[in-house]
Chain A
Amino acid sequence: MIELEILGNKDTRSGFGEGLAELGRTNPDVVALCADLTGSLKMDAFQNEYPDRFYQVGIAEANMIGIAAGMTIGGKIPYTGTFANFSTGRVYDQIRQSVAYSQKNVKICASHAGLTLGEDGATHQILEDIGMMRMLPNMTVIVPADFNQTKQATIAIAQHQGPVYLRFGRPVMPIFIKPDAPFIIGKANIINEGSDVTIIACGHLVWKSIEALKILIEKGISAELVNMHTIKPLDEEAILKSVSKTRCVVTAEEHMINGGLGEAVAQVLSRKLPTPHEFVAVNDSFGESGTPMELMTKYGIDTKNIVEAVEKVVSRKS
């Protein structure tokens, strides 16, 4: 079992805020737009340092996406910020026509994704956003695992020409990725090498999977953990390499079972390497109010669920 050093505890949205502020200093083409959630998205640092490149659009997300798309004409790199629900479901057609189809260099940055938004309840807990965004041609979808990786991703996407959906969240979680660890869009990181099962996770479920590793080792199961921070384009090579060794897989995500990481991985495996596969995801249901950790437990995306899924999938191996 790999010994991971815990570097601190922070929310991934703060990683976004720090990354954006750094881009303010290093890339004069980066502009930021926000729909009345500057504090929640931690965009204040950018706003304070670069007020001329910050656009407060008010509670009007459709307009924000359109303005961002238009701003790319003339060379700007717009970062839009609002909650994940209002970044996707509310503005799907604006993203589809003005950003994805028009191939505009817009970075859609979405906070408070998934159940861990917590007490606000299901109206705000979008669990379909990864699915919607990965269905769009030309779209890159990134779900970083911790504060440091979110900061890295925020900075990296400025160098990537084309539309990006960057998804992060609200709760304070352990930081376990070093600030200088490699981050390449579309290249998964192996967090732990193992031989009995492959766990492929993204976002907050990477930490939950690390917790599961400790329990699994006591049960005598050696698990390989892949941090699949880029859902699209998916790192097929990393999946096939790991699964051809372990011959079974568990995917884990803070998303609906429909349309997310699990489905993306299943699509690869069913074509190229049919493999027993268990899904840790929300099972076709809306969320509700509660603390982030209560919700993860109730909706079956907790450490315990990963352990159970691993045991089940290992038993299915022929």
Chain B
Amino acid sequence: MQNLELEKIASQIRRDIVRMVSAVNSGHPGGSLGCADFLTFLYFEQMFHKPNNFTMDGKGEDLFFLSNGHISPVWYSSLARSGYFPLSELATFRKISSRLQGHPSTDKKVPGVRMASGSLGQGLSVAIGAALTKKLNKDKSIIYVLHGDGELQEGQIWEAAMYASANKVDNIIATIDFNGRQIDGDVEQVLSLGNLEAKWQAFGWEVLKMDGHNFDSIRKIMQRAQSLIGNGKPIVIIMKTEMGQGVDFMMGSHKWHGVAPNEEQLKLALNQLTETFGDY
């Protein structure tokens, strides 16, 4: 897909995100905006998946897990925009009886979601489990999982990291949304991750880095990651992003991690994001 086309999709997804959270005066726009380019690339170029025929087992398909479930707006928009469910459903986000819960869940059977997430640190283990089943089923497709950087403070992540390399779970590509922010402030201040690259390397993972707002960089690294599948090591990508990317007043701080824009702020945000495929 042309970069221009991907940029158009990402712009529309960013509009969806700010409109969704603003409508219910709650939700997490910061990390959602920061991952809009990545999820656009995953759902519209990278993954082999069947949006019109969702099955829980996803046999023969690449699977995506969102471990940092609070950035559900970007995921829901990506799913709807790629055809998993009607766009109009985005208007129900966080509302009573909606399938689009504040944090993703499976109990209301929203197509595209295979595991609840929100309580942090659990998605890597889940992704490894799905990857092991792919291997047992002789299914060559790939497991993708996305994590927040603050989420890496959870101990379970490192249990999972240790397991995956020790057992050569080499059909998994984990990505870290490395925006350096978490609710209480900068990750560096709240609890420094130290040398993240060295940590993952020490845990036996193949470590790649990319710019999460540059489609050339994303494409190059995702292709590189895909070429490393089956080489005996799990793969992690440290993806540099900006929390709030695309909306100037939401960038450069942790303030918009979990705060929704009011009506006036929504207008300001939408003025910076081109409507390309029509609002929901």
Contact = CB atoms under 8 A, between A and B. Distances in A.
A54 to B, nearest CB: 11
Interface string A43-77: 00000000011010110101111111111111110
B117 to A, nearest CB: 7
Interface string B27-65: 000000000000000000000000000001111000101
Interface string B107-126: 10000001111110111111
A250 interface: no
A98 interface: yes
B100 interface: no
A69 B106 contact: no
B130 A70 contact: yes
Given A58-B163, A63-B163, A93-B119, A71 B107 contact: no
Interface residues of B, number: 40
Contact of A71 (B65, B116, B129, B156): B129
Contacts of A96: 119
A247 B280 CA distance: 62
Interface residues of A, number: 32
B266 interface: no
B280 to A, nearest CB: 27
Interface in B90-141: 105-107, 114-119, 121-134, 136-137, 139
B17 interface: no
Interface in A69-117: 69-76, 78, 93-94, 96-98, 101-104
Contacts of B65: 70
A15 to B, nearest CB: 27
Contacts of B5: none
Contacts of A76: 133, 136
A103 B163 contact: no
B137 A69 contact: no
Given A98-B115, A101-B116, A63 B159 contact: yes
B125 A73 contact: no
Contacts of A53: 136
B172 to A, nearest CB: 10
A52 B124 CA distance: 22
A71 B118 contact: no
Contact of B128 (A67, A72, A78): A67
Given A62-B159, A66-B128, A98-B115, 7 more contacts: A60-B159, A67-B163, A73-B115, A75-B57, A101-B106, A102-B107, A102-B116
